[in-house]
Amino acid sequence: MNRNNNLAMLVADKLRRKFGGKIELYCPAEHDEFVLIAYQKGYLNETQILSVDCSILSQRDLLLVYAKDDFISRGMKIEIEYAEENNFPIHYFSDVSSKSIKEIEQTIDQVIRWKSYGGE
């Protein structure tokens, strides 16, 4: 789990540097320490945690799914299902190659154009 979280944070950092103010990224792994402690102390259960993640997602424009080695965790699956049910654009990628970054940039541009035409 720590390895996956560290990887997700590195990818989010790279995307933030690349896209600057063009998009606001939320990476759940960056808040994992709080979530893990709250879960271990019984303050939050898995359903509550994922509900919060989906609430945060509802305030975003796009779900980026970083699936290294095509691995999608249970939590990621729930976030993906939420995005699908709410017609959110989803972009899957498994590396941060130049090609992947270009594809993400194209998806972001499409979402920005869609929103500028009144899409919600």
Taking the model in full, what pTM does it have? 0.79
> Which pair of structure tokens corresponds to residue 98?
């130049």
Give residue for tokens 């945060």. 56
Domain count, the chain: 1
Q: Span 30-54, mean pLDDT?
A: 91
At 8, is the pLDDT very low, low, confident or very high (cuts 50, 70, 90)? confident
pLDDT at 119: 61
pLDDT at 80: 94
Strand 63-66 relative to strand 90-93, pairing: parallel
Residue 90: phi and psi, rounded to 5, are -125, 135
Range of the domain at 50: 2-116
For residue 27, give the nearest of 44, 45, 46, 14 by alpha carbon: 14
Q: Which of 18-22, 71-75, 113-117 has the highest mean pLDDT?
A: 71-75
At 3, is the pLDDT very low, low, confident or very high (cuts 50, 70, 90)? confident
